[in-house]
Amino acid sequence: MQIKGQVALVTGANRGIGRAFVEGLMAAGATTVYATARNPERLTDLVERYPGKVVALKLDITNAADIAAAAERCRDVSLLVNNAGINQQAGLIRAGDLAHARAEIETNYLGPLAMCRAFAPILKANGGGAIVNMLSVLARVNLPMYGSLSASKAAALSMTQGVRAELAAQGTLVVGVLPGACDTEMEPNFPPPKLPPADAAGAALDAVERGIEDIYPGDMATGMSQGLAADPKAVEKDLAKYLPQ
């Protein structure tokens, strides 16, 4: 599938990797990008930069009414980018209660699942299309300092595999993107080197064009993926040193 000529919808498009997705889609020749955010006023500059091509919409992926309204409005979408996510930077035992874990499951797993469900018939009607799910290499192994984030991304990885299987018959490509640390506001205190957001989005769009189902953009994710293939227990034990504060 070529990006040129596609109609895309990006969640969490106001900053970070989501904003880079909008810019990358425009550079690659997408016809229209529905740039969505909890606060669409933060999309004004993107709309002004790409007049008539970037359309701003309010969309909180934990809000069922917002998702239904977006699906009603954006019936021409052929590429869904489930980018929005949160990292509460919390452990599983040390966290005071389950609030962080619940929020991450709502945003990182149930929100993207609800988006896949809402847009599956639209993608089918438009010839199959593609879904990009922004996961994390921490979907493959738990980093205890982000213990509940890792668990929510593991759920999202399993969801990605199941959605891929269910939508195969309608010709929808489902791409899982598993980067390591990226240079955004999500992890400001994580030490460099961090992957530039444009590289994460660019790798994902390249995977769509080449029909690759799972990608690990950047050196950190590539190295961890290789380590997990060689000795998954050694990677688990290595990450076990990084405990929540």
Ligand X SMILES: NC(=O)c1ccc[n+]([C@@H]2O[C@H](COP(=O)([O-])OP(=O)(O)OC[C@H]3O[C@@H](n4cnc5c(N)ncnc54)[C@H](OP(=O)(O)O)[C@@H]3O)[C@@H](O)[C@H]2O)c1
Interface residues toward ligand X, by CB under 6 A: 11-12, 14-18, 37-39, 60-62, 83-86, 107, 111, 134, 136, 179, 181-182, 184-187, 197
SS3 244: coil
CB of 40 to ligand X, least distance (A): 10
CB of 169 to ligand X, least distance (A): 27
Beta-bridge partners for 32: 7
Residue 12 or 91 having the CB closest to ligand X: 12
How far apart, in whole angstroms, are the C-alpha atoms of residue 164 and residue 213?
9
Listed in order, strand segments (DSSP E) in 16-161 are: 32-37, 54-58, 79-82, 130-134
Residue 129 or 180 having the CB closest to ligand X: 180
CB of 25 to ligand X, least distance (A): 15
CB of 16 to ligand X, least distance (A): 2
CB of 88 to ligand X, least distance (A): 11
CB 167 within 8 A of CB 129: no
Q: Counting Cβ atoms within 10 Å, is residue 66 exposed (0-12), middle (13-18) or buried (19+)?
A: middle
Mode of pairing for the β-strands spanning 32-37 and 54-58: parallel
Integer-rounded Cα Rg, in Å, for the chain is: 17
CB of 156 to ligand X, least distance (A): 8
Residue 3 or 177 having the CB closest to ligand X: 177
Residue 242's alpha-carbon distances to 35, 89, 98, 245, in angstroms, are: 36, 12, 20, 9
Give, for 104, the enclosing helix (H) or strand (E): helix 99-104
Residue 2 or 226 having the CB closest to ligand X: 226
Residue 19 or 164 having the CB closest to ligand X: 19
Residue 27 or 168 having the CB closest to ligand X: 27
